[in-house]
Structure 1
């Protein structure tokens, strides 16, 4: 069975001007962050959470018809033994500036989702983050990085080959870090039982 998310550009086109690429990426980030902390998240719960998280406008767009599919496929990807998780971003034909802003919003969505169900755990991780011997040191560093990435939207981007390579590396780092957050919140034993 294919676990690929719906085509980003097609979803964006179906929504017309009612949603930006950044908002679509933020939605996926939010879903992923929520699933890290609450793997059994149901569609109805997601629909109730969206307005509270500043994503209520999504419910008034065509993407609402695919929300259940996005939730289920994201859940499957996050449980994939082959690390098949996608970061749902515009394709490579889109300007680097828009892709970077979309990645920033995806990271912001992940952080919002994590804080919804795992706020106390995140506070504990941050508190332990100065101790390099802590089990949560890498996760705390990744959380700080996600916060920094979520703030890069306004920085000028030239779109050089080096910028493209940097973007690809940062996107991959974000993808793997999300899986680290998931393991940190659920523990390795629970992840094994999901597979």
Structure 2
């Protein structure tokens, strides 16, 4: 029996937690950082913000708080054999500029925490190496103020690419490592 993945907490609830903790990043960037940490092999521990943001003063999120839910859902989604992995991004009704900025923030968060978790010389396939380079380009991108239907379609494609890239990197760094460990 297939159990559907749990849903990510709302962007607003994560944003409220970020404000409460006085963190200097967006909800999308925080989710990207969590996902980068997990994709790079970082531990799925309850005190993940302190590890991912390299700030020992950050406490452990309360059980079932939005940040704890964010971790639980990310772990479940990376484990989903049906590739049911979602990015924490604004609703499709938000402007193109807001959505693209959030996607670029997600990529910045992912890259920083991925590098922290995986270390200097990760064992990556050529596809993952290319995906990581593409994520770096997206992380450096700037949103445009306006766009047309073509730009909207391109953003949807980029979101899908980012989603698949994160899964690919997780596969190389976590699943392949687990497979190698079972063989030894």
Query: TM-score band (shorter)?
Result: 0.7 to 0.9
- Flag the 1:156–1:15 CA change in 2: closer, same or farther, 3 A: same
Which residue does 1:31 correspond to in 2?
34
Q: Which runs of 5+ in 1 are unaligned?
A: 126-135
Which residue does 2:163 correspond to in 1?
175
Which residue does 2:7 correspond to in 1?
4
* 1:151 counterpart = 2:137: no
Q: Distance in 2 between matches of 1:15 and 1:138?
A: 34
Which residue does 1:137 correspond to in 2?
126
Q: Which runs of 5+ in 2 are unaligned?
A: none
Q: Distance in 1 between matches of 2:76 and 2:121?
A: 24
Are the counterparts in 2 of residues 39 and 75 from structure 1 also a CA contact under 8 Å?
no
Count of aligned residue pairs for this structure pair: 173
The RMSD of aligned alpha carbons is 3.0
**Cα distance per residue 1:104-154 (max 9 Å; x no partner):** 0101111111111212234x65xxxxxxxxxx211111111000001112x
Equivalent runs, 1:37-186 vs 2, <5 Å: 37-38=40-41, 40-44=43-47, 46-52=48-54, 65-122=65-122, 125=124, 136-153=125-142, 155-186=143-174
- Flag the 1:120–1:10 CA change in 2: closer, same or farther, 3 A: closer
- Flag the 1:188–1:52 CA change in 2: closer, same or farther, 3 A: closer
Q: CA deviation at 1:164?
A: 0.6
Match of 2:94, SS state, is coil
Q: CA deviation at 1:52?
A: 2.3
Q: Distance in 1 between matches of 2:23 and 2:120?
A: 32
Are the counterparts in 2 of residues 35 and 41 from structure 1 also a CA contact under 8 Å?
yes
Are the counterparts in 1 of residues 42 and 118 from structure 2 also a CA contact under 8 Å?
no
Which residue does 2:178 correspond to in 1?
190
Are the counterparts in 2 of residues 9 and 90 from structure 1 also a CA contact under 8 Å?
no
Q: Distance in 2 between matches of 1:118 and 1:50?
A: 12
If the length of structure 1 is used for normalisation, what is the TM-score? 0.75
- Flag the 1:37–1:7 CA change in 2: closer, same or farther, 3 A: same
Q: Distance in 1 between matches of 2:82 and 2:159?
A: 17
If the length of structure 2 is used for normalisation, what is the TM-score? 0.80
Q: Distance in 1 between matches of 2:177 and 2:108?
A: 28
> Which has a greater percent of helix?
1
